[in-house]
Amino acid sequence: MNYKIYQAILVGIFPATLEAILLALFDSNVVIWTFFQACFFWFSCGFVIHLVEIPNITSFLIKSIILSVFMNVPWFIALAIVPNQIKMLIPLIVSSIIQGILIGLISKFSNKLTLVNEDLNNGRIK
């Protein structure tokens, strides 16, 4: 399997784990299927953000924030707009921006680790 896929899996594990911890700590009444859905969503979000490249956007943080917010639109609709809980929209947007920043930073860090590993394997670093 391509190293980029391994990286994407590792990048996806971080936001999924963070979501699991937050749900376990702050929402003890969460239904198990909702818990799995949220964790799988954030895993997918990290996985996709790591693999996707957007033309003309060179900043990895801007890319991560845009994709994170865009991928969260269904959650915004389901959790804030449909039940007429508009006051929940701002916290949802802010949390998706924070997760997007974290995913972007982890993605960038994993890319740097891969470059160092490749240099070590090819003898460029001793």
* 3-state DSSP assignment of residue 9: helix
Q: Return left, alpha or beta for 74; rule: phi > 0 is left, psi -120 to 50 is alpha, else beta.
A: alpha
pLDDT digits (tens, 9 = 90+) for 24-69: 998 888 899 999 999 999 999 999 999 998 888 888 899 999 999 9
Q: Please list the alpha-helical segments (H only) found in the chain.
A: 3-26, 32-51, 60-76, 89-121
Shortest CA distance to 48 belongs to which of 72, 80, 31, 74?
Answer: 72
How far does Cα 95 stand from its chain's mean position?
11
| pTM greater than 0.85 (yes/no) | no
Instruction: Tell me the one-letter amino acid at 124.
Output: R
Measured N-to-C along each axis, helices 3-26 and 89-121 cross at an angle, to the nearest 10 degrees, of 140
Give the Å distances, CA to CA, from 10 to 67, 83, 124.
18, 34, 26
Q: Return left, alpha or beta for 41; rule: phi > 0 is left, psi -120 to 50 is alpha, else beta.
A: alpha
pLDDT score for 2? 79
pLDDT digits (tens, 9 = 90+) for 6-35: 899 999 999 999 999 999 998 888 899 999
